[in-house]
Each structure stands twice: as structure tokens, then as C-alpha cells.
Structure 1
Amino acid sequence: MKKLFALMVMLMTVAGVKAQMVLSDNHAMLKLEQGKKYLLLPVQEKEENASIAVLDERNEMVMRLNVKLAVDKVDYFVPLELKQARLLDIIFHGDRRTTGAIKDFACWREMKYSNSFDTTNRERFRPVYHHTPLYGWMNDPNGLFYKDGVWHLFYQWNPYGSQWENMTWGHSTSTDLVNWTAQPTALQSDWLGAVFSGSAIVDKNNTAGFGKDAVIAMYTSAGASQTQSIAYSTDGGRTFTKYAGNPVITFNAPDFRDPKVFWYEPRQCWMVILAVGQEVHFYSSKNLKEWKFESAFGRQYGNHEGVWECPDLVQLGEKWVLILNINPGGPFGGSATQYFVGQFDGHKFTCEDEPGETKWMDYGKDHYATVTFHNGPEGRIVALPWMSNWQYGGAVPTLQFRSANGLPRDLGLTTVNGESILTNTPSKELLALRSKKVKTPTDACEIVIDVKGTMELTLMNSKGERVVMNYDSKKQTFSMDRTKSGEVSFSEAFPCVTEAPTFGPMKQLRLFIDHSSIEAFEGEGRMVMTNLVFPSEPYNIIKVKGGKATIYSLALKK
């Protein structure tokens, strides 16, 4: 009788899914129905991740993922594409004393099969002219390149929840840097590890032997150690094949990641710059497969309060700019982007700034992991940031998706008082968004302010929520106060005042407002400030002292 009872428990069928088997206090299996495209997994964000092994008909594992399967209630669903999947082997890691018995978990009642997944927006804070994933978590932009009139944006993506996990490369494309189309997943994890950040290039001369104009992605395989791998695409970046000789670069360091590849014309070779702890390493290669260490840079230079990540090196005129992201250590806490100006000779980078001097690319709280597009048209250097901060990225008040990219910015160099300053100007494609002039702000608009000396600008709504910006013409500083901007309680690090030097008098200010962000650009791009905001209703009131505002509605595709 006891054996029969145990067998009945093991084979217990719960409404919603069939053939679910409870095997122990933390272990269950689920036999999958065949002929279905998706299994919709119910997620509850407060729970611990459950480890899921996806097995095929030979009981070989084809995928491993971590999902916060619902115990009490469902926050949202994520789709697991079944393909040849036959069985899910699930280990729960939550405390059974607080979560209860596995057989009673809400996930069994709520799981469902479907041949489609509804990605219709359900979030009031989702931006309308900034790139976002259709669903799931997103952080660093990866593999940015331009080819045949199309901008390609890959990104760190968790398709199985709105928290960081299961790192893959998502993929979106655009012809205008504003309207983005979601593409199939580009790269998924393998036994070398999860797919962390990296870059992509167009191999115009077939140096790697994968074909003329092949797109080659280089990325970090994050397993027991972090190593560098490559994958190639012969269909313009739509699908990739991983190189059989991976990994192509290894090093004895726990933080060894985020390769940015670029062509160095004088030596007729490829270079890659990698983040290694709190410095960067340069390697060279003729074929993208075999790499030679060249030099290191970073000790005693810049900010060292956190780990260095997502480096980039670009040439602007006669000088080179090394872009370097750091977390933590930003000017107002958390993550931020610093840069260095100098010279690069194909072997090493020499900084023209004093050791210890820090230059920030953006003085807001929500600008990180900034990298540039390879092969930009007209010789343009176009950069794209992740618009969030690691202090609270997983806590912002959205569920269907988390995180957006900041606006694309064209980079340049200018000189202020004998010092080289990186400029960021909104990419020219954004001008095409301008529609008619309107009298009041909306939740998606551009505001141009002609500044006349010291200025104070307030954006507010009927609830009294407001963002206050000040320009001090004597000190030549600009600040943005979001302490009373709307919902701020999700993190103690969120309400803040950010302040920046303007590197000269400010004559014009361009504000780009979207549902949950404000990006402020000094007219010549010498100062940029990117901050998230979460107002309960749009800011529809503007007050300006010391300037004249022109408000443009935006012509957005539906």
C-alpha cells in the first residue's frame, strides 16, 4: 500500500500540465506534450531560481536555464521554445519551510502550451523611441555593426525572466537607429559557459576564412573561467555558427571579458581590447583565431573604485579615445562610463591625461556599458549605452521587460582650455522624429531651450511630481534633481541630484523625454546627462526661468 501511495504521488497530474512528477522535496520532472511550439513558464520574481535541464528524446541535455518558477502567484509568463524537447528536469532551490510542498506550487497549475507568445506591450513605463527587448531582462549592448543600410544591435538578454540570468545575445535591427525590429536569438550558452558581452565586425577581406563579408562575433564564454570565443555568420548577422576551435584567447584572471575588435590599418591586422580586472589588455591577430598579447593599460589611470568592463577604442581625428565602463565607482554611485584620450600605435595606448584624472562620458545615473558601432556609414562613430544602473536595474517598476538603451550618440572631440573633451551629440536620425511644435510637454517629446545666462527649468505634472534642472552660468555647471520625480521608493540609491560641468558657457540645451527617461544634451555635446524617471502621469507642465523653450512632438511609427 505504501509503495502504491508513493507511486501515485510521483505520477500526480496537476491541472494545467500533464505528466508532472514530484520526485523529492526539491526535485520534479515534467514530460512535455509533442507538437507544441512553446511551454509558457509562470514566473514569480521574489522566488529563488529553479534549475531546469531540457532533455531530448535520447535524454541528452540540450539546454540548461534558471527560472524563478511561481510558487504562490504569477507575475508574468516567459516562453520556452520546445523544438525537440521531451522532458524537463527541475531542481528547486527555495526553502521548503517557507515555500511549502512542491506539489502545491502555482507553476503546475499555471503552465500552459501555446503556439504563440503575446508580446503586446503591457507596461506604462516602456519607452516608445528607445530600444527595448520585447520581454525579459536586458543589459549591455553587444556586437554593434552597420551593414547594407541596416544597424544591428545585439544585447545581453535573459529570455526567461526580467532579472539578470541565462545570458544570451538577443538581436534587433533598424534602418534609422530609432525604430527597431526584434530578430531571433543570435547566440546561446554552451559548455564553455554563458554568452557574455562582446563585439562584431564585417570581415570584408575574408581574413578569417569564413567568407568575404562574413560577420564575425567575438564574445566572452563565461563558465568556470572567462575565455574568449568567436562565431561567424554568412547571412549578414541573422544566424551564427560557433567556431570549432573555441576558445581563441585565455588568460589566468577571474575578470577577463568583453572583447571589442577593430581593424588597425597601419599594421593590416585586427586588434582586440579586453577588460581584465582594473586594466585593459590589447591583442593582435591576422585571422581573428590566433591572438598575440601586445600590452596593458590602466594602472594608476582613471577611476579604480570598481571592476572595469566593456572597453572600446576609437579614432577621432588624430587622436584615439579609450571608452571604459566601471561598476561601481560612478560619480553619483553605481555604474558609469569613463574615457581616456591619447595615442595608439597598434601596440599600446598612451594617455595624454594625468594619472588619476577621471573624465566621465555622461554625468547621469543611467548610462553604462557604452560601446560603438563597427563600420558606421560616412565614417561616423556612433555609440549606444545601456540606460540603467546596477544599483537598481533589477528593481525598477516594470515586469514584462527591464531596461532600455539610451539614445544613439555621434562622438567627436573638442578642446576646452587646452584639454581634449569627448563630445556626444544626438545622432542626426533623431532630427527626423521632429513633428509639429506644441505648447506643452508630452510623455515622448523633444524640448530645445535657448539658454540666456543662469537658468532653472522645471518639468512637472498635476500630482506635483517634478524634475528640476539648473544651469549656473558662473560656475558653468548643470544639475538635474529627480528626488521628487515620481516613483522612487524601489531603491534608496534612486532619488538623487546629478551635477556636471558644462565645459564652457551653455547656449542651448536639448532634452529628450520618453515615458521613463530624460536625456539632457548641451547644444554642442560637451555635456550629457541621462537619468531614468517614473512619474505616475506624464510631465505636462514646463516652467523656464532664464531661457526660452521650444517643444516638438515626435512622429513615431505605430
Structure 2
Amino acid sequence: MTTIVAAVLMATSAQAQVQPRVLGDNHVMVSIDTNYKYVLLPVEERAENASVRVIGKDNQSYRRPNVRLSVDHIDYYVPLEIKDGQTLDIIFHGDRRTKGVLKEFACWKEMKFSNTFDTSNVERFRPEYHHSPVYGWMNDPNGMFYKDGEWHLYFQYNPFGSLWENMTWGHSVSKDLIHWEALPNAIEADAIGTIFSGSCVVDTRNSAGFGKNAIIAYYTSAAEAQTQSMAYSTDGGRTFTKYEKNPVITSDIPDFRDPKIFWHEPTQKWIVVLAAGQEMQFYSSPNLKEWTFESSFGREYGNHGGVWECPDMMQLPVRGTGQQKWMLVCNINPGGPFGGNATQYFVGQFDGHKFTCESKPEVTKWMDYGKDHYATVSFSNAPENRHVVIAWMSNWQYANQVPTHQFRSSNSIPRDLDLFADGEETYCGVIPSKEMLALRGNKVKKLTDACELVIDVRGSMELTLGNANGEEVTMRYDAQQQTFSMDRTKSGDCSFSEAFATVTTAPTHGALKQLRIFIDRCSIEAFAADGKMAMTNLVFPSIPYTMLKVKGGKATIYEIVK
């Protein structure tokens, strides 16, 4: 759930049609009504991007987002804050022979000025208890940290449409990891580039010199090259000031991004791990400003079906041993076990200079065996030495096509990580965070579109969620093979992508005794209660699943108390 931070749309909007000044086949200027806070831009998703430049009263350019301005019809509106602007300078792309006559575009007839923008939910697939943006596109979670009783979640965000573009750090905060309040955007594009993924740390040592407990953000500035930039916050992560000497870390590698920073106590240094093409690179620093290259890892290890992205690094306890080992998280796209993106990881040791993997190079380990779990990263400075992660709940194979308009994408439920041994290998344990238990309400007899199922499993098991339209999701546990599968081929709307109708299968690393399943309108997350299996898949049923059949187990349904 997300707290709405904008007022109701268009109660005071100007309805008059704007008068475009056509300057060529693809060039238009529009005068801004400065009596209003926003210009409401009509979006048509099948249109090509137009470059919208805001020119101020001083004739300086202040913003230049790309927006799919409506040519024939309107899918939805997005707000562009006017501030001191006086003119919109718009360049359209594409062939005028196919897009038509510029002055007749639908956007001129429906463009409005307003002091408010409505973000009340109009989507039946918007989740009840998962984080999602109030409007617009979202992908990777970024910069997550905990401080003073608040969990901060930043995310890759497009404020100007529900398709990927205009990368910005959006921002939400929560006191319980469940109920999220949307805050103003935290870090926006500048002359160095748009704002790609990264991380935040709480500088308790004042290493960077911006003050004790300042929040230090590192992110990728993406333009002709990908470089690493820094910003700092002295108000607890609400607002950031960009470092005057950006970019701080550079490379000649094209895919060089997603800095994850952590403190390494034995060497008394900060470490940053960066995705660099098909490997991860480690740098160290005493002050979060000057960085020394230490080592690289990964060229011969794990899956290399796609680009390595969004690293994370953490030291975790191994159940029942008293030992701790290091885990390097490596998100990859494509190359996932069922197509598209996924989160792989490596277990081993890290001495502050080099990561050494304990598995053979050909071994690949996946954190989640669903299609819709990616860009998994952890909250820094989490209490009780917890390692809490959140993932982006989608897949690049169809993320831009899923059947929503007002927003696209949500995050997984929070999960706590540890390690467990199975045979000669050590694996990542994934358990729904304890905060999820607070959502449990009364036991009910009927499925709802937002609930938790607990299944006590007896041997092999088959479970089916269904609705009156004949749509269904079938989950099976094979006790002999020790595998769990989820079949969404008949789950509802699969028409938007050939890659969507899929059966996903996971090892359970031992007998499955209890299953926890979280259903939330358009998602199903299944976990072995002991944390040895996780699977996340989206579904888009025409009506909610209300029928439940279980063979080989006993089901308990809990309502969700929001």
C-alpha cells in the first residue's frame, strides 16, 4: 500500500486547448500558463518518445524529459512541474508520413494546466501490500537503508510515463516494511547523465566529511559512458546534494554500473563492488571519495547468459555451524533459469581485497526460481544485524507490456537471508521477513485477491488456485524428486508476451514440510517455511482466484490486515 501524496486531479485545471507554434515537421513550441504548478501531458504508449525541453524566463533550459506525447489517443496523463518555465520546446521523433500532421496531434487538444495531480488508484492489479509507485514506471530498488526507525527505499523511476525512460531515484519510506509513504524524487538527472542504480550507507564515522551519520549515496550516471557519482544527505535521506567532483569512479568498460558500498571492519575500509560487463570489481576507500582497485571476480564462474548487474555483498551465518561466510549477489539479464532476468549468487570468503568462491566455476545458484524476481539488493544499516532484501517483481522479457497503465511494476515482499548447507554446497536461505506476520488476520474459508496461504504438506502435493472463468495456477511438490513447480500457463491474461505462459521449477533441498504462499492481486510468492526454496511469479487473472484445491496437504487461509 502507498500513501497518496498528491491531491485530486484537475479540480482547478485549465481546460483550454493549447496553441502549438509549429516550427517544422517535428518541432513545436508551446507557451506555458504560469498561473499553474503543472502541465498535464497526455501520453500514448504506442507513440514514439518526444523530447520535451522546459525553457525558463531566463531562456535557460531546466529539464528535458522524454515523453510519449499522444498522437491519436490518450492512455493517461503525467505531470510536468512548471516552476519558472515559460515555454515547452518539443522535438518529435519518427517519420511524419506515419505519425501524421503535427498540428493535429491529440496532445494539443487535451494538454492541460493544473495545480494538482490525481494519484488515486485506478488499476485493479495494483497490489494491496506490496510497494509500488503511485504512478509511472519502476524497476530496480536502489539505495536502501535503515535509520531512526525508518526503512528507506529508492527505486529506478520514470515520472513521465509507465514505460522505461528518464531514470530517476524515486523514494518511499516505511516504519514496518509494509506500509509505504511516497516522498518527492530524491536524485534526478543532470549534465553527467540519468540516474541508474546504486546504494546508500550511513556514514557513522564521518569518513566523507559531510557530517556524522550523513547519508552517502553512490549511483551510476548514465550517458555516453557509465560512471559512478556520489551525493550526500544531511536530512536523513530526504534530499541530496551532488558531490562537486563527480564522477568519482570511471572505466572504459561499457556496462560499468550499480555500485554497492559496505564497511569492511577487519581492514577498516569502505568497499564498493561494481558490475563491470561479465564480472564484478572491488574497490576500497578510507573516505568514500578516493577509491583503489582491489580485484575482480567472475569471468569463469556461474551463469554468463547476459550482462551482470546490481551486485550486493554480505556476510551471513551458516545455520547450525557457528560459521559465517560471504555471499556475492549477482543479478543477470538475460540468462535466468526460465528466460529473462534472475538473481544468482556465489558463496565464499572475502578478505577486504579479493572474493574467493568455494564452489566450482560451473556451479550456478539461484536465489529465487520464479520468472519475476530481479535486482535483489539489501538494506544497509539494518537493525539486529539482519540482512533484509527486496527485489523488483517483473521480467525484462515483458515488463513494459504487462496489462497496467497508471503504473508498472511492484517490489517483492521483504525477505531475510541466511545460509544453509546441503551436501557439499552452501545455499542462500530466503525467509519472509518477520514483519509479514503482522499482516496476518483471521483464518478464513475462502481465497481473496490478497491473502496468505499456509500449507502443511504430507508427501507429494498438488495445489490449484482457480476462478469462475476457468483460469488457474497449479503448484506441485514432488517428494521423490524434491522439486516444487508453479504452472501459470492458464493463469489469466498471457497474451501480452509469448514468454509469459511458463512453468517454473525449483529444488527444495530436502523434504518440503510447510509452504507459505503470498497472493496479492497480480503476484504469487511461494516459500518453503524453512527458507530453502523461493519462487516469485506474476499472474493477471480476469477475476480474482476464489477457489482452492489441495491434494496431499492441509491449507490454512489468512486474511490480510492492512
> TM-score band (shorter)?
over 0.9
Match of 1:92 in 2: 92
Name the amino acid aligned to 2:23.
L
Cα deviation code 1:165-193 (max 9, x no counterpart): 00000000000101100000000001110
The one of 431, 437, 444 equivalent to 2:443 is: 437
Cα deviation code 1:120-166 (max 9, x no counterpart): 00000000100000000000000000000000000000000000000
Tell me the CA shift for residue 17 of structure 1: 4.0
Conservation of the 8 A alpha-carbon contact between 1:76 and 1:399: yes
SS class of match (1:462): coil
SS class of match (2:64): strand
C-alpha separation in 1, matches of 2:15 and 2:396: 39
Match of 1:110 in 2: 110
Deviates more, 1:91-100 or 1:185-194: 91-100
Match of 2:140 in 1: 140
C-alpha separation in 1, matches of 2:423 and 2:253: 40
SS class of match (1:116): coil
Match of 1:265 in 2: 265
Match of 1:156 in 2: 156
Name the amino acid aligned to 2:53.
A
Tell me the CA shift for residue 54 of structure 1: 1.2
Match of 1:404 in 2: 410
Instruction: Give TM-score, length-normalised by structure 1.
Output: 0.97
Name the amino acid aligned to 2:87.
L
Aligned pair 1:326/2:326, yes or no?
no
Cα deviation code 1:517-557 (max 9, x no counterpart): 0000001111100000000111100000000000000101x
Aligned pair 1:279/2:266, yes or no?
no
Match of 1:304 in 2: 304
SS class of match (1:251): coil
C-alpha separation in 1, matches of 2:450 and 2:495: 24
Conservation of the 8 A alpha-carbon contact between 1:228 and 1:249: yes
Deviates more, 1:78-87 or 1:115-124: 78-87
C-alpha separation in 1, matches of 2:455 and 2:19: 63
Cα deviation code 1:6-38 (max 9, x no counterpart): xxxxxxxx9834452111110001111113111
Q: Percent identity?
A: 66
C-alpha separation in 2, matches of 1:94 and 1:495: 33
Conservation of the 8 A alpha-carbon contact between 2:15 and 2:112: no
Name the amino acid aligned to 2:387.
I
Q: How does 1:448-467 map to 2 (within 5 A)?
A: 448-467=454-473
C-alpha separation in 2, matches of 1:53 and 1:267: 48
Conservation of the 8 A alpha-carbon contact between 1:16 and 1:108: no
Aligned pair 1:202/2:202, yes or no?
yes
C-alpha separation in 2, matches of 1:419 and 1:338: 15
Tell me the CA shift for residue 52 of structure 1: 1.2
Match of 1:360 in 2: 366
Cα deviation code 1:456-477 (max 9, x no counterpart): 0000001110000000000000
Aligned pair 1:543/2:557, yes or no?
no
Match of 1:527 in 2: 533
Name the amino acid aligned to 1:179.
H
Name the amino acid aligned to 1:521.
F
C-alpha separation in 1, matches of 2:540 and 2:398: 13
Conservation of the 8 A alpha-carbon contact between 1:140 and 1:155: yes
C-alpha separation in 2, matches of 1:125 and 1:482: 16
Q: How does 1:157-556 map to 2 (within 5 A)?
A: 157-317=157-317, 318-556=324-562
Cα deviation code 1:21-64 (max 9, x no counterpart): 11111000111111311100000000000011111112111111
Cα deviation code 1:338-359 (max 9, x no counterpart): 0000000000100001002100
Name the amino acid aligned to 2:363.
E
Name the amino acid aligned to 1:174.
S
SS class of match (1:406): coil
Q: How does 1:58-69 map to 2 (within 5 A)?
A: 58-69=58-69
* Length, aligned pairs only: 543
Tell me the CA shift for residue 418 of structure 1: 2.9
The verdict on how the C-alpha distance between 1:127 and 1:225 changes in structure 2, with shifts beyond 3 A counting, is same
SS class of match (1:267): coil
C-alpha separation in 2, matches of 1:321 and 1:441: 37
C-alpha separation in 2, matches of 1:36 and 1:509: 53
Conservation of the 8 A alpha-carbon contact between 2:18 and 2:109: no
For structure 1, the 5+ residue unaligned runs are 1-13
C-alpha separation in 2, matches of 1:527 and 1:47: 42
SS class of match (1:404): coil
Runs of 4+ in 1 over 6 A off after TM superposition: none
C-alpha separation in 2, matches of 1:98 and 1:18: 23
The verdict on how the C-alpha distance between 1:358 and 1:517 changes in structure 2, with shifts beyond 3 A counting, is same
C-alpha separation in 1, matches of 2:351 and 2:15: 66
Conservation of the 8 A alpha-carbon contact between 2:488 and 2:539: yes
Cα deviation code 1:411-465 (max 9, x no counterpart): 0111112321100000000000000000111000000000000000000001110
C-alpha separation in 2, matches of 1:546 and 1:418: 31
Conservation of the 8 A alpha-carbon contact between 2:15 and 2:113: no
C-alpha separation in 1, matches of 2:213 and 2:104: 54
Conservation of the 8 A alpha-carbon contact between 1:15 and 1:108: no
Match of 2:11 in 1: none
Conservation of the 8 A alpha-carbon contact between 2:486 and 2:504: yes
C-alpha separation in 1, matches of 2:125 and 2:134: 13
Conservation of the 8 A alpha-carbon contact between 1:47 and 1:94: no
Tell me the CA shift for residue 83 of structure 1: 0.9
Name the amino acid aligned to 1:256.
F
CA RMSD of aligned residues (A): 0.9
Match of 1:72 in 2: 72
Tell me the CA shift for residue 311 of structure 1: 0.4
Conservation of the 8 A alpha-carbon contact between 2:19 and 2:108: no
C-alpha separation in 2, matches of 1:141 and 1:227: 19
Tell me the CA shift for residue 221 of structure 1: 0.2
C-alpha separation in 1, matches of 2:511 and 2:490: 28
Name the amino acid aligned to 2:314.
V
C-alpha separation in 1, matches of 2:396 and 2:16: 37
Instruction: Give TM-score, length-normalised by structure 2.
Output: 0.96
